[in-house]
């Protein structure tokens, strides 16, 4: 493998993804949603001392994790996920 060619290819792909993120972020949100493997699963999201349980509804157009919780639909942008503690 030509390391220089590989690096150039990776940088080209990264540049395209960053441009897409800047110009049309909802496209990436749809792509991430299509790749979501946890849709329909009950998940526990930990954010420091706070915990939120809910059913995964996928990924929002803005990249947030969508959980249907007791309080309704919520979007999360950070945290640690688990399905084992439920």
Residue 85 has pLDDT above 70, yes or no: no
Residue 2 has pLDDT above 90, yes or no: yes
3-state per-residue secondary structure call for the chain: CCHHHHHHHHHHHHHHHHHHHHHCHHHHHHHHHHHCCCCCCEEEEEECCEEEEEEEEEECCCCCEEEEECCEEEEECCCEEECCCC
What's the whole-model pTM score? Answer: 0.76
Residues 38-46 have a mean pLDDT of 95
- State the pLDDT confidence band at 86, using cuts at 50, 70 and 90: low
How crowded is residue 54: how many other Cβ atoms within 10 Å of its Cβ?
22
């Amino acid at each position: 493998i030509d390391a220089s060619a590989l690096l150039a290819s990776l940088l080209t792909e990264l540049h395209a993804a960053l441009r897409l993120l800047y110009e049309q972020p909802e496209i990436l949100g749809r792509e991430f949603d299509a790749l979501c493997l946890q849709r329909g699963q009950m998940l526990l999201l930990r954010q420091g001392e706070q915990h939120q349980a809910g059913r995964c509804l996928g990924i929002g157009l803005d990249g947030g994790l969508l959980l249907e919780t007791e309080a309704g639909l919520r979007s999360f942008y950070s945290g640690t996920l688990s399905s084992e503690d439920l």
